[in-house]
Structure formats: C-alpha cells, structure tokens
Chain A
Amino acid sequence: MSAVFRFAGPKLLRAGLSILIVVTFTFVVLRASGDPALQILGPSARAPDLEAFRRHWGLDQPLYVQYVRYVLAALHCDFGNSMLAGKPALQLVFERAPLTLALMLPALALTMLIGIPVGAYAAMHRDTWVDRSVMMLTVFGFTVPSFVLGLLLILIFSVTLGLFPSGGADRPESFVLPVLTLGLGGAAIIARFTRSAMIEVLSQLYIVAASAKGVTWRQVVRHHALPNAIIPVLTLFGLMLGGQVAGAVLVESVFGWPGIGQLLVVSVANRDLAVVQVILLLVALTMTSANLLMDLLYGVFDPRLRGTNSGSQ
C-alpha cells in the first residue's frame, strides 16, 4: 500500500497543483482584463451604481481576499452566469458536452484503430515502398491543419460527390466527415510513433531469441513485439488529447457542430468571460486527469517503473 502511495502520491499532488495554477491564471487574467463592474454595467453607468456593484460582488475587498473567494467558488463549481444566455455558465457548457464527446471519442478510437496497425505494418515492412508511401502520407496527415482537411473533405465528399452532409449534427451520416477530420491527423502521429517504437522493439534480443527458438513470426509479433511497442504509444495518447481538444474547436466550427468548441468561439467573440473560464478550467481538468491516468497506467503496464518517479521528467 505504501509503495502504491509513494508512486501515486507525488503525481496526485502535482496534478492538484497544476489545477491550482490554472485557476490562479484565470483569476489573474480576468482581473487584468479590466474592471468587471465597468464591463458588465457599461461605460455609461453612474458612480454610485458602480460602487454598489463592487460592494455586492466583493470587488472592494483586498486582492488576496478576492482570490481566496474565487478559488472557493471554483471549488463549489460556481462560475457565475453567462452574460449572453443568462444561464449558469456551467450548465451551458454541460448541455453542449455530449455532442463534443460524441465527436471526440469515435475520433480517438479511429486514431488508435488506424494508427497502430498501420504503424506496425510499416515497421515490419521497413524500407519497402509500402513503408515509404505510408510515411509520406503521414507527413501530410499531421501537417495539414484540421480546418483545411475538413474543408477539403467537404469539397470532395459533400460538394462534388454528394455522399455526406457538409454540416449539422442531426443525422448519423453527419458524424462521418467530422470524425474523419478529427481522427486522421491523430492517426498519422500514432502511426509514425508506433512504427519507430516497433522498429526499436524488433531489434531487441528477445525478439531474436523468440524467433530462434522456432516461434512463428506471427506469434512473435503478436505476443512479443506489439505489447512492448504499445506502452510508449499510450503516453503519447495522453499528450495527443490536447491536440484533439484544440482540433475539436476548429472541426466543430468547420462543420457547424453545436458542441463546446462552437460555444467557446461564440463566447470569445462576444467576450462572455464566465463561459470561457468554465471551458478553460474544464479542459485543464480533463488534460490533467488524462495525464495522471496515463502516468498511473504506465506503472500498471510497466512494473519496472513503479519504484521510480522519474517518468514525468
């Protein structure tokens, strides 16, 4: 038990500190962006009204009191109302969350289902024309920004061929193009990474030993090479999630997908700060927990790492 705690404890502490830093960052940025009283009541507000507003929201208190209050409110998930919709910002974000998840989860699955087999296949046929053309394709896959890829897919599959709708989220076919757009870029990254991890593993002595004792090549790959090559791919997965979140914002905008990403863009354009901060904190929380989970899973998959805490450096 204590060993588990020694392994997980510092990682948990680190995750908590990270969240606190993000909360502090939002507090500082919000306060630095101007007087909230002026912003909400407008430049034509009278001085006594401004004064009353400040007193009501505690803006006349010293900064550290405001900070502590802000952190406490965040802990209670109280982020205020959206200026645009007049509803609690948190509720607004959670209403949109299922649609964004419905986009991201299939995209992540696609990333893995394409990336890992393609990468492993390329590694096993290293330096053949298959390998080279796959690697060429992946360069396009991870350099082409998602909004360009999405629009090109619309141009080909919606405008020219008329196979899939170019936007909206009302039909099952609507999912195809956005999920493809979001998944393909990640798949390219995973494929490249799997390929190099696999090449590394295939040159290990235990692979030679397994082949030498007469295990069939198929089994060597399945039971000896792939499981070892996948471990580093898992950590990459945690890092890639950030790219997927950013990609989702652009992809939702391209396809008119009414998820969190669109909400964010609209809120930024209208400077609806309550909503923006909820989304920022939500992303930070998701990313931190994902990284924490990956760190802990790493210990499960690779028992050698349990005693150390050097993994994150």
Chain B
Amino acid sequence: MKTATVETNRPPPRSVDLPTLLAVGWVLLMLLTALAAPLMAPYEITSIDLRHRLAPPVGFGGTMLHVLGTDDLGRDVASRLFYSIRTSLLVAFGATAISVLVGTGIGFIAAYFRGLVEHALLLMIDVQASLPFLIVALAMLACFGNSLTLFVALMGLYGWERNARLARGLAITASAQGYASATRQLGAHPLRVYLRHILPNSAATLLVAATVTFPEIVLVESGLSFLGLGVQPPMTSLGVMVAAGREYITRASWMLLAPSLVIVITAVAVSVLGDWLRDKLDPTLK
C-alpha cells in the first residue's frame, strides 16, 4: 500500500511529449488547409460530376480522380472538406475574437465600477452560465433568421460569460498592484490604465482562455450546421457535410466519415494542445 508515502517527488514533466507534438502538427495542418484551401482543392466545391456520383475513396475501390470519393451529386469530397475546414475555422476565429473582446470589455467594466453595476453584470453572467448556449443560439436564430454575418456575431456570444468573469478577476487583482495604482496616481485616465497597463498584463491569460473557447465554438458551429440552422448552402462547413453524409450512411459512409474524423481529431488535438499551453503559460489557471 503506497498511500502512506506522501507523493511529492513526481518526475518533472518533459517539455514536449509525443501527443503534444502530434497535436501541434495536426493543428498546423488544419490552419494551413484553411489558408490554402483554394490552392489545395482539386475541384470547385459546387462542380458536379454526375458520371462519378458516390464514388468511393482511394483504397476502397476509388480512383485518384477523387481521392476521398464524391458525394451524391458527384462533388469532390476532399475539395469540400478543405473548404469546410476553412469556413469552420474562419467562423470560429471571428467568433472567438468577438467573445474575448465582449467578455473582456464587460469584465473590465464590472471591475471598474464595482457596486451595483458589478452585481447586475455578475447576475447576467450567472444566468448565461446556467443556460445551454445551443438553446439560446437556436432561440436567437428563430427570431432573427440567418445570415453569415449574423451567425458569426451570434457565435461570438459563446463563452462571453467565462471571459468576462476571468477578465473581471484579472482586472481586480491587477488594480490592487503597484503599477496600476502608480499610473492612476500620475493622473492617467481610467481608459488608459485599463487599456495600456492592465490589458497587456492580463493578455496571456485571456489568450489561453481563448484557446479553450475556440475549439468549443468549432463544435457548436458544426452542431448548428448539422441541424441545418448554421452555415447555409452553397457554403459548406464540417457540420453541413456530416448532415449530408447522414443521408447516405449505408451507401457512402465516406461522406460522413471524412468530416467526422476531421472534427474528432481536431477537437482532441486542440484539447491536448490547450492542456499543454495552460501548463506552459499560466500555472494559475489549473
């Protein structure tokens, strides 16, 4: 029985292990795909090839003409996959930026005003935290309809409450420190104190929080697109592809598997990467 010995001498963690390296590699590959999708895709995502409908991928009876096979209209799955990754990452990037900006703004406002304003904001944060975002997003989509701009803005609401809570805590801690009160004593405007001094000092932690928000937005986006309520055709996203693949699950499982595997591997990779980043950059976030 080894419980009697207090475990303090655990070996120091190696700086980068194999899973982390793989995760970094995959995420870089995804970013590259998103950037270079027009160069990498052999076909237009809407170009129809009716003679090669539901063609299987290479290795399962397919030809090099369509490496990952084709869908029900003979559209190239690989090309659609590249563009889907591009759309999904683009939406997630925009939304994460909005979420961090909105959250930080609200958190700083709560930290600056304190009192009633802070209480009201905290209550709203609690309410948002207790509601599943997917349901709120669906309700807003029902009311406002859907367009890409609106959809990105809506996704940007994801996680604002977590970022706000974090930013508020960081700002309160920071303003109690010497440098913030020094600039305040020197007569700096509160905006200057917050934007030029407190924000840069909180940025690392906020960025780590963004790496948590980002993959979650990818998942929510693909979920909504899967339901047919997110990214709309003719644009394509990973969720749109999964939804289309569902119809042909018995005859052309590659239509479903290709985007599903990308979602699964990306989500796992980002989660591994996030853990590593958190350990590296900010030990206090554990």
- Shortest C-beta distance, B218 to chain A (Å), equals 9
Q: B46 within 8 Å of A by Cβ?
A: no
Partner of A273, one of B7, B143, B222: B143
Q: Are B142 and A147 in contact (CB under 8 A)?
A: no
Name A283's contact: one of B131, B144, B264, B272 (CB within 8 Å). Answer: B131
Quick check: A143 and B242 within 8 Å, CB to CB? no
Stretch at the interface among A105-113, A175-183, A242-250: A242-250
* Residues 131-150 of B contacting A (Cβ, < 8 Å): 131-136, 138-145
Cβ of A211 and Cβ of B4 under 8 Å apart? yes
Residue A154 is within 8 A (CB to CB) of chain B in the complex: yes
Q: Which single residue of chain A is at the shortest CB-CB distance from B229?
A: A268
Residue on A with the closest CB to B133?
A246
The 8 Å CB contact of A249, one of B135, B140, B141, is B135
Q: A208 vs B242: C-alpha distance in the bound complex, in angstroms? A: 52
Q: Which residues of A contact B145 (CB under 8 A)?
A: 271
CA distance A118 to B170 in the complex (A): 36
Cross-chain contact B253 with A155 (CB below 8 angstroms) = yes
Q: Nearest Cβ in chain B — how far from A271, in angstroms?
A: 5
Restricting to B1-45, which residues have a CB under 8 Å from any CB of A? 1, 3-4, 6-7
Q: Which B110-158 residues have C-beta < 8 A from chain A?
A: 123-124, 126-127, 130-136, 138-145
| Complex-state Cα separation, A254 to B223, whole angstroms | 11
Given contacts A143-B264, A148-B263, contact A246 B134 (CB under 8 A): yes
Selected contact of A242 from candidates B130, B144, B264, CB within 8 Å: B130
A291 and B131 CA atoms in complex are apart in Å by 11
Kindly state whether residue B208 has any CB partner on chain A within 8 Å: no
Residues of A within 8 A of B267 (CB): 143-145
Indicate whether A194 reaches chain B with its CB closer than 8 angstroms.
Answer: no
- Interface residue B249 (Cβ < 8 Å from any Cβ of A): yes
A237-269 vs B, CB cutoff 8 Å, 1 = contact: the mask equals 000001101100110011000000000110111
* A277 x B139 contact (CB < 8 A): yes
Among A29-37, A50-58, A64-72, the stretch in contact with B: A29-37
User: Using Cβ atoms and an 8 Å threshold, which residues of chain B touch A139?
Assistant: 268, 271-272
Is B260 close to A, CB under 8 A?
yes
In the assembled complex, which residues on chain B have CB atoms less than 8 Å from the CB atom of A291?
A: 130
* B250 lies within 8 A of chain A by Cβ: yes
Inside 8 A of A152's CB, which chain B residues have their CB?
A: 260
A280 and B268 contact, CB distance less than 8 A: no
Q: CB-nearest residue of chain A relative to B143?
A: A33
Q: Is the CB of B229 within 8 A of A140?
A: no
Main secondary structure of the interface of B (DSSP, over half): helix
Cross-chain contact A151 with B246 (CB below 8 angstroms): yes
Write the nearest CB–CB distance from B56 to chain A, whole angstroms.
15
Residue A144 contacts which of B6, B132, B264 (CB distance < 8 angstroms)?
Answer: B264
Nearest chain B CB to A217 CB, angstrom units: 6
Interface residues of A in 198-221 (CB under 8 A from B): 202-203, 207-208, 211-212, 217
Q: How far is the CB of A253 from chain B (nearest CB, A)?
A: 6
Q: Are B142 and A271 in contact (CB under 8 A)?
A: yes
Q: Is A269 within 8 A of B229, CB to CB? A: yes
B237 CB → nearest A CB, Å: 13
A142 and chain B: residue at smallest CB distance: B271
Q: In this complex, which of B6, B123, B136, B138 has the most chain A Cβ atoms within 10 angstroms of its Cβ? A: B138
* Contact of B242 with A140 in the complex, beta carbons under 8 Å: no
The tally of residues in B whose CB lies under 8 Å from a CB in A reads: 48
Please tell me which stretch of A13-21, A86-94, A96-104, A227-235 contacts chain B, meaning at least 4 of its Cβ atoms lie within 8 angstroms of it.
A13-21
Give the residue of A18, A207, A211, A280 whose beta carbon is less than 8 angstroms from that of B130.
A18
Residue A174 at the chain B interface, CB threshold 8 Å: no
Enumerate chain B residues within 8 angstroms of A154, measured Cβ to Cβ: 249
Bound-state CA distance A110–B257 (Å) is 27
Interface flags for B228-267 (1: CB within 8 Å of A; 0: not) read 1100000000010010011001100100110010011001
Are A33 and B144 in contact (CB-based, < 8 A)? yes
A26 at the A/B interface (Cβ < 8 Å)?
A: yes
Contact status B219-A145, CB under 8 Å:
yes
Q: Which residue of B lies closest to A268 (CB)?
A: B142
Residues of A within 8 A of B250 (CB): 159
The distance from the CB of A249 to the nearest CB of chain B, in whole angstroms, is: 6
Residues A276 and B139 in contact in the complex (CB < 8 Å), given A148-B264, A245-B132, A250-B223:
yes
Q: Which residues of B are found within 8 Å of A82, using beta-carbon distances?
A: none
Output the nearest chain B residue to A160 by Cβ-Cβ distance. B253
Residues of B within 8 A of A253 (CB): 226-227
A272 at the interface (CB under 8 A from B): yes
Given the contacts A144-B264, A147-B223, A212-B4, A249 and B123 also touching, CB distance less than 8 Å: no
Could you tell me which residues of chain A, from 145 to 201, have a CB within 8 Å of some CB in chain B?
A: 145, 147-148, 151-152, 154-155, 159, 166
Q: Which 6 A-B pairs have the closest CB atoms?
A: A33-B143, A246-B134, A143-B267, A246-B132, A242-B132, A268-B142
Instruction: Given A29-B144, A32-B144, A155-B249, output 14 extra A-B contacts at Cβ < 8 Å.
Output: A14-B123, A17-B123, A18-B127, A21-B124, A26-B139, A139-B268, A148-B242, A159-B253, A208-B3, A208-B4, A246-B133, A250-B226, A276-B139, A287-B131
Residues of B with Cβ closer than 8 Å to A?
Answer: 1, 3-4, 6-7, 123-124, 126-127, 130-136, 138-145, 215, 219, 222-223, 226-229, 239, 242, 245-246, 249-250, 253, 256-257, 260, 263-264, 267-268, 271-272
Q: 16 A-B contacts, Cβ less than 8 Å apart? A: A18-B123, A29-B143, A140-B268, A144-B268, A147-B226, A148-B242, A212-B4, A242-B131, A246-B133, A250-B226, A267-B142, A271-B145, A280-B139, A284-B127, A288-B130, A312-B126
